Chains A and B, each alone.
Chain A
Amino acid sequence: MDFLFINAKFDGKVELTKEALNYCKKYKILALYSSIQFSTQLDKILKQLEKEKITVITSQPARTNGKYQILGCDLSYENLKLEKKPDAFLYIGDGIFHPRALVLAQKDESEFKEVITFDPISKQLSSLGLKNVKKILKSYKGSLLKFLHSENVGVLITLKPGQQQFNPSKLLKEKYPNKTFYYFVDNNIDFSKAEDFPFIESWINTACPRLGFDDAAHISLPVLNLTDALNLDKLLEKKSFLTE
């Protein structure tokens, strides 16, 4: 089967307004990211920032196909592959899904950097901070602790080829020999179905990690992502926004 990816590039000007540029002047080093609709059209913005003597850094995060591009699943600082720390992040694009990943990526850090967002369509400038994910992080920390004391754990596997992580999830049994893991499979992971399995005390999400944060924060069940379950000891030892 053949695949064709069409970026659906934004068909308009991608440049900062005077107000947005003035706001960026607060910082000397900005890490610039964007969604695929805008990430190949950042030349003008790079020139604007250069003229104001603002250093721009960026990277090609782990699962992306090019520099400047960010995905919603880039939820760890390590995945960003940034070689140096910026003073703030600047996200170019519409919507909140992608820039919120830049906030969540800082959950394991001890110092938070503002995420400035600029939408070239509406020309709106906004700012994201930890307050925007406070409820999510609080709920997630609760899930981590609940998992530690759970004997019966459900592991959710998706059939979607891009998100299916059955093999890595088998490591759970080695890592936690005193827990019993029950494996569940579905196409779309819908947490409301978890109520049908009341013997499960905690759930491990192996599909898109945003499900473990954004979706799970709105339900009462403890849900954590596979990577965090496998690295839980290190995660809880580290002083960070998630564990504080």
Chain B
Amino acid sequence: MKIYDLEVNSLIERIKEKNHKTVLIQLADGLKPQSKEIVDKVRQETNAEVIIWFGSSFGACDTPFGLPQLGIDLVAHFGHNIFKKDLEGW
């Protein structure tokens, strides 16, 4: 049962608008089973390659590093909002 709106169309729009080539999708744990649906739809609608983040996703603070090495030019993070990091600590 789908109970959350994944707004895949917003993602597709962003990919087309910015001409992104390689996209990483990172999902909160409860949303991970729906990653197939996202990848299939994005592949159908765009030419972008889509990669799924396998590891933890505890929040928007938990974004990975080293992504440009894979040519990733967009990270779509599902289930969390912008995180305002305090540079002086927690």
Chain A contacts to B: CB under 8 angstroms:
1-12, 36-37, 62-66, 69, 71-73, 75, 95, 121, 159-163, 165, 167-168, 187-188, 206, 208-210, 225-227, 230
Contacts and interface: CB of A to CB of B under 8 A. Distances in A.
22 contacts: A2-B73, A2-B75, A3-B74, A4-B14, A5-B81, A6-B6, A6-B10, A6-B77, A7-B81, A9-B4, A36-B80, A37-B79, A63-B84, A65-B82, A160-B61, A161-B63, A161-B65, A162-B63, A163-B61, A165-B89, A168-B89, A226-B89
Interface residues on B, range: 35 or more
Contact of B62 (A36, A75, A163, A209): A163
B60 interface: yes
**Most A C-beta atoms less than 10 A away, residue of B20, B61, B86:** B61
A14 B28 CA distance: 21
A203 to B, nearest CB: 16
Nearest to B55: A188
A4 B50 CA distance: 14
Contacts of B18: 2
B59 A72 contact: yes
B51 interface: no
Contact of B83 (A12, A159, A162, A206): A162
B45 to A, nearest CB: 15
Interface of B is mostly: loop
Contact of B76 (A6, A66, A160, A161): A6
B74 A5 contact: no
Overall SS of chain A's interface:
loop
B11 interface: yes
B63 to A, nearest CB: 6
Given A72-B58, A73-B59, A225-B90, A5 B65 contact: no
A141 to B, nearest CB: 19
A160 B58 CA distance: 12
Given A160-B64, A208-B61, A66 B81 contact: yes
Interface of B: 2-7, 10-11, 14, 18, 20, 28, 30-31, 55-56, 58-65, 67-68, 72-90
B8 to A, nearest CB: 9
Contacts of B76: 3-4, 6
A73 B3 contact: no
Contacts of B58: 72, 208, 210
Contacts of B59: 71-73, 162, 208
A230 B88 CA distance: 12
